[in-house]
Structure 1
Amino acid sequence: MVGLDGVQKMSKSRNNSIMIKATPEETARSIKSAKTDSERYITFDHEKRPEVSNLIILASLCLDQDPYELANEIGDQGSGQLKQITAEAINTYFEPIRKKRKELEINKDYVRDILHKGISKPRQTSITTHSEVTEAMNMKI
Structure 2
Amino acid sequence: MSLTDPEEKMSKSASNPKSFIALLDPPEVIKKKIMSAVTDSDSVIRYDEENKPAVSNLMVIYSLCSGESIEEITQNYASYGYGKFKKDLAELVVETLRPIQNKVNELSAPGAIESILMAGAAKAQEAAQPKLRLFQNKLGLFAIQS
Question: Same fold per TM (> 0.5)?
Answer: yes
* Structure 2 unmatched runs, 5+: 121-146
> Which letter does structure 2 place at the counterpart of 1:51?
A
Aligned to 1:7: 7
Q: How many residues align?
A: 114
TM-score by length of 2: 0.71
Where do 1:87-98 residues align within 5 Å? 87-98=90-101
Aligned to 2:42: 39
Superimposed CA distance per residue, residues 4-29 of structure 1 (whole angstroms, 9 cap, x where no aligned partner): 01231101121211011011111000
Aligned partners of 2:114, 2:33: CA distance in 1, in Å?
Answer: 30
Q: CA deviation at 1:109?
A: 5.2
Are 1:57 and 2:60 matched, yes or no?
yes
SS at match of 1:76: coil
Aligned partners of 1:9, 1:77: CA distance in 2, in Å?
Answer: 27
Aligned partners of 1:25, 1:108: CA distance in 2, in Å?
Answer: 28
Choose between structure 1 and 2: higher helix proportion.
1
Identity %: 32
Contact 2:44–2:78 under 8 Å retained in 1: yes
Root mean square deviation, CA, Å: 1.8
Contact 2:106–2:112 under 8 Å retained in 1: no
Aligned partners of 1:24, 1:81: CA distance in 2, in Å?
Answer: 17
Q: Which has the larger radius of gyration?
A: 2
Match of 2:32 among 23, 29, 33: 29
TM-score by length of 1: 0.73
